[in-house]
Structure 1
Amino acid sequence: MILVKSSSGIRGTLGGKVGKGFSPIEIIKFSAGYVSWMKKKYKNKNKYLIVLGRDGRTTSSIFQQFLVITFQSLGVNVIDIGLSTTPTVGIAIINEKADGGVMLTASHNPKNWNGLKMFNSQGEFLSEKDFKKLFYIIEKEYFRFASFDQLGNYFYRKNYIHKHIEIILSLPLVDKEIIKKSRFKIVVDGINSTGGIAVPILLEKYFGAKVIKMHCIPHGDFIHNPEPIEKNLKSICKKVSEVKADLGISVDPDVDRVVFICENGDFFGEEYTLVSISDYILDNKIGSVVSTFSSSQALKDLSINKGVTFYSTSVGEIHVVKKMKEVKAVIGGEGNGGIIYPDLRYGRDALVGIALFLTYIAKLSKIPLTKLKKRYSNYFMSKKKIRLSPNQKIGKILENIKKIYQGEKMNLKDGIKIHFLNKEWIHIRKSNTENIIRIYIESPSRKRMNFLEKKILYEVKKNYD
């Protein structure tokens, strides 16, 4: 059993002993701790308000009841928006002037996982400092439950995905009419979660697109690994080509990451989601761009070509958001398909990513995605992961790798990033959301990328405890 606590919230596998996996006990403890943190953060209020949403996992509807009961028992009012997306919860917090919110999801993790993503009153994830305070409260069990006459109230709000979309459509750089005129034919893989609701609504109702749905019933029985990367999306790649669609769209279960499929069935690449949308934004607004150490060099190349400053941060939405605010970036995100557009909200949002992307290709006279991708630097990237046993520590592995590459330029802010000549690099780090080591390798040459991949995998595995 696995339970991971990080700046992304908590998530874990289901079952097992208390404290070793994601169980009802953990849900109650963490939600109670979250309320205590919130009351301490936003003092001197008579009543507090939390927004609650959930993804389509089979366990989310069950676990939601524990959250509602806990929040009400702590004297907090709850607005339940039901089946939702993570960014929709962020939007609802702002719209309802709530003190915070919780999304019941394990994001891209498999269906035997679940978790909690927690927000502040700005509809953003908690900072590292706030998470440390939260974890301390949970450890000490500083919970104060309400008396019978001070229990919180429960409210249900429907159609929040529609409200979220309508706010997106009000953005100046989203052009609903030009998208409608393009009459797109799009295949959508909703991974049997809330993307199967939200993405077709956006495309059919608001953009007039013809949608071919795949896995769009939100029953939570994921038909394939839910992380939206190429090896998991073979069926949609094949379908796009078969039905002669203009493109394909796939999202993760809580709809904060989006990837595109080219008209010929080729994978556009999750890294190029942010690259292409940044290209569109920078055509219309001047400002800096922020992404992570693990993101493709193609984004930095684009920034240089546009004459703007590019910044890198540690992996994780909170790190990207912090830097974006600091440098007043006009666009940012992660190379996993996560788009952060501050004109909407400081948080990853697949729906705004889709709206901006479709506007861009419509303005380019419905340019084929295979042709669009040729506008950008062509790099070859490998993304590998190695599972750690519970007693394995990544520190020793990283120290050994540091010794092996001590003559190379390194960045040690988030694991180890090793820079080579000719824009080649390797990034090794512990995952924020799973008990794994993530290894990223990029090179302008496929042959060199393959060589570096074999070399680093051998060296990492050799140094296991």
Structure 2
Amino acid sequence: MSTRNYFGTDGIRGRTNKWPMTAELAMKVGMAAGTHFLRGKHRHRVVIGKDTRLSGYMVENALVAGFTSVGMDVVQFGPIPTPAVAMLAHSMRADLGVMISASHNPYHDNGIKLFGPDGYKLSDEDELKIEALLDQDIPLAASQDIGRARRVEDARGRYIHAVKSSFPADLRLDGLKIVVDCANGAAYQVAPSALWELGAEVIAVGVTPNGTNINEGCGSTAPLLCQETVVSAGADIGIALDGDADRLIIVDEKGKVVDGDQIMALIAARWAKDGRLTGGGLVSTVMSNLGLERFVQGLGIDLVRTRVGDRYVLEKMREGGYNVGGEQSGHMILSDYGTTGDGTVAALQVLAALVRSGKTASALLHQFDPVPQLLKNVRFSGGKPLEADAVRQVIAQAEAELQGSGRLVIRLSGTEPVIRVMAEGDRDDQVRDVVERICAEIERAAA
């Protein structure tokens, strides 16, 4: 495959006002993506959503200039979750959807995610064709063919309606006290509204975005605020989303964090019992706990693993006809309801199970005992330490030791010079020992 200079595993991302996340490149992306999707004789349309970062204004205006300059009409939604852009791109018959977000990253980063007319993230092939155009002179539209831009004010309402329609029609959330932490991000209006409309008593935190506080001490990557609020308010459950609301972490009534593995276990088990689980399995990544694998296998459900990244989970789901997939970090993809991860929709499935079961969140969401798992990162400044003989030898030795009772996952980060070493197994001391030995050998090789 050709080298990717701009697109990573989730669109283009970086620190704003540093290459490649500049207004200049954003305009060029609009021109290139617009040109790539100018197919057929109809008026072409792109829809654009964003999260609450200060730089969103700059990136949005640059993209609008790029798209209109090649003859594409633009519909702007303002702050709205990533899954809402995917859904509305499809329902509004757009040729392309764009989300301006760096997801769970700090405010000084931003990113551009692209969705095709079917609402799915673009294929590698489409991204490479757009990349090729970025380095060329792109022909501009004739004066009379320049695109128009308009704002749609009811996009959030349309998304709230779609989210609520994923919740069983015979259930209500009356009597439930729910904390929802929106990470001062894209769901700060829609998630609390959807829960309130379904009858819940909602305590909303992380709902006062100011452009620089997205994901700061709140949301799925910093769940302490949600934990403390659940306990102090005596809430039944807490829901923590990330900056663009495609990720979900749950907090039970005791203030304990529940990760994506337990959420997937619950949804897959419930759907299998109701005859709704398709593909005969569940799709997750190599990082999901061995405890999850053993739990679902005990129910006669396969666990299909992919490399890290929700796009790879989705690819495998589409390939095998699976309708439940996700990551331990909280990306939840329920393809009956959407074409990408959606934290709010996944939360409603958990809440439906909570209402039906009559159990507490802590009882319901403890589906399995995770086996001891340890992840360590080793930074290196150059070279290929994983190819050193001594490193290969210690990895082979560790794999032999864990055979049958654990797993080892070693991978290069896709975004920074870091090697991630993860081991899990039934014995805590063995897992620690294996990870420390491998990390020490990698450090020696990288020195």
Alignment of 1:419-438 (within 5 A): 420-434=402-416, 436-438=418-420
Aligned partner of residue 332 in structure 1, secondary structure:
strand
| Alignment counterpart, residue 364 of structure 1, candidates 357, 361, 365 | 357
Runs of 4+ in 1 over 6 A off after TM superposition: none
| Alignment counterpart, residue 254 of structure 1, candidates 239, 244, 248 | 244
Distance in 2, matches of 1:120 and 1:431, equals 27
In structure 1, runs of 5+ residues without a counterpart are: 410-417
Residue type of the alignment partner of 1:427: V
Identity rate of aligned residues, in percent? 24
Aligned partner of residue 79 in structure 1, secondary structure:
strand
Does residue 156 in structure 1 map to residue 123 in structure 2? no
| Deviation of 1:343 (Å) | 1.0
Report the equivalent of 2:41: 45
Distance in 2, matches of 1:132 and 1:420, equals 40
Single out whichever of 4-13 and 295-304 deviates more from structure 2.
Answer: 295-304
| Deviation of 1:435 (Å) | 5.1
Residue type of the alignment partner of 1:369: A
CA contact (8 A) 1:7 1:127 kept: no
Report the equivalent of 2:205: 214
Report the equivalent of 2:73: 77
| Structure 1 pair 120–432 and aligned structure 2 pair: CA distance change class (3 A) | farther
Aligned partner of residue 463 in structure 1, secondary structure:
helix
Aligned partner of residue 37 in structure 2, secondary structure:
helix
| Alignment counterpart, residue 302 of structure 1, candidates 295, 304, 308 | 295
| Structure 1 pair 238–422 and aligned structure 2 pair: CA distance change class (3 A) | farther
| Deviation of 1:149 (Å) | 0.5
CA contact (8 A) 2:183 2:216 kept: yes
Distance in 1, matches of 2:321 and 2:254, equals 38
| Alignment counterpart, residue 318 of structure 2, candidates 325, 329, 354 | 325
| Alignment counterpart, residue 375 of structure 1, candidates 351, 367, 372 | 367
TM-score, normalization by structure 2: 0.90
| Deviation of 1:258 (Å) | 0.4
Report the equivalent of 1:31: 30
Distance in 1, matches of 2:43 and 2:380, equals 44
| Alignment counterpart, residue 397 of structure 1, candidates 386, 392, 404 | 386
Aligned length: 438
Report the equivalent of 1:414: none
Distance in 1, matches of 2:405 and 2:152, equals 50
TM-score, normalization by structure 1: 0.87
| Deviation of 1:91 (Å) | 0.3
| Deviation of 1:379 (Å) | 2.3
Aligned partner of residue 115 in structure 1, secondary structure:
strand
Distance in 1, matches of 2:6 and 2:442, equals 22
Residue type of the alignment partner of 2:130: L
| Structure 1 pair 405–439 and aligned structure 2 pair: CA distance change class (3 A) | closer
Report the equivalent of 2:161: 166
Does residue 68 in structure 1 map to residue 76 in structure 2? no
| Structure 1 pair 162–427 and aligned structure 2 pair: CA distance change class (3 A) | farther
Report the equivalent of 1:413: none
Q: C-alpha offsets along residues 323-362 of structure 1, whole Å, 9 cap, x if unaligned?
A: 1112111211222111111112231111110111110111
Aligned partner of residue 46 in structure 1, secondary structure:
coil
Residue type of the alignment partner of 2:99: M
Distance in 1, matches of 2:152 and 2:417, equals 36
| Structure 1 pair 223–426 and aligned structure 2 pair: CA distance change class (3 A) | same
Aligned partner of residue 192 in structure 1, secondary structure:
coil
Report the equivalent of 2:114: 118
CA contact (8 A) 1:10 1:117 kept: yes
| Deviation of 1:422 (Å) | 4.8
In structure 2, runs of 5+ residues without a counterpart are: none
Residue type of the alignment partner of 2:370: N
CA contact (8 A) 1:301 1:377 kept: no
| Structure 1 pair 75–107 and aligned structure 2 pair: CA distance change class (3 A) | same
| Structure 1 pair 406–378 and aligned structure 2 pair: CA distance change class (3 A) | closer
Residue type of the alignment partner of 2:179: V
Q: C-alpha offsets along residues 173-204 of structure 1, whole Å, 9 cap, x if unaligned?
A: x32542424x2112222111123222211211
